[in-house]
Structure 1
């Protein structure tokens, strides 16, 4: 009886050792993946910073003004002034179709 209990306990110890060994290597692999992802995130953040700086440089108002003036014949761009905006009552809405307006009940119920 003692031999059987000893063999069962020995098998359990070997099983737990094998499980711990596998978990150790899974943990190491997960940590390596996390380090790789963190490096990639850092690289992408650096790229994003560079792209934002380039975007800010290319969208300088003086540069855009010079480009608009240079390409005025092709584009016909003018500076924005308050005269370019209209009021809501100046918007020409299409006329309502009498057939569609009579088909939809005014109370919102079918």
Structure 2
């Protein structure tokens, strides 16, 4: 009986060692994957910063003004003037729909009759 207990204990130790070995390699693989994802995120953020800088460079007001002047014949773009802006009270907002109440229904006497 004792030898069976020693055999089962040895198998349990070998099994737990095998499990720990597999978990260690799985953990290392996941850590490598996380490191790769972090590098990809860093590269994407770097590309995004470059794209934002390019967008800001291309949207400079003086550059856009020069482009509008060069393409005036095709586009007909004019510079904005202060008198082209309006006030909020000048905006014509749509009127809300009116509810038709030409045939009212009496709900107080309908519930009391029962």
Q: TM-score, normalised by structure 1?
A: 0.79
| Aligned pairs for 1:65-80 within 5 A | 65-80=65-80
Q: Which runs of 4+ in 1 moved over 4 A?
A: 93-96
> What residue ranges of structure 1 are gaps of 5+ in the alignment?
105-110
Determine which structure has greater relative contact order: mean sequence separation of CA pairs < 8 Å that are 6+ residues apart, divided by chain length: 2
Q: Cα deviations across residues 60-93 of structure 1 (Å, max 9, x unaligned)?
A: 1111110011111222222222211123343334
Match of 1:13 in 2: 13
Structure number with bigger Rg: 2
Taking structure 1 as reference, are residues 9 and 45 closer, same or farther at Cα in structure 2, changes over 3 Å only?
Answer: same
- Pick which of 83-92 and 59-68 moved more: 83-92
Q: How many residues align?
A: 101
> What residue ranges of structure 2 are gaps of 5+ in the alignment?
102-114
- Pick which of 32-41 and 83-92 moved more: 83-92
Match of 1:108 in 2: none
Q: Cα deviations across residues 27-79 of structure 1 (Å, max 9, x unaligned)?
A: 11001101111211121122112212211211111111100111112222222
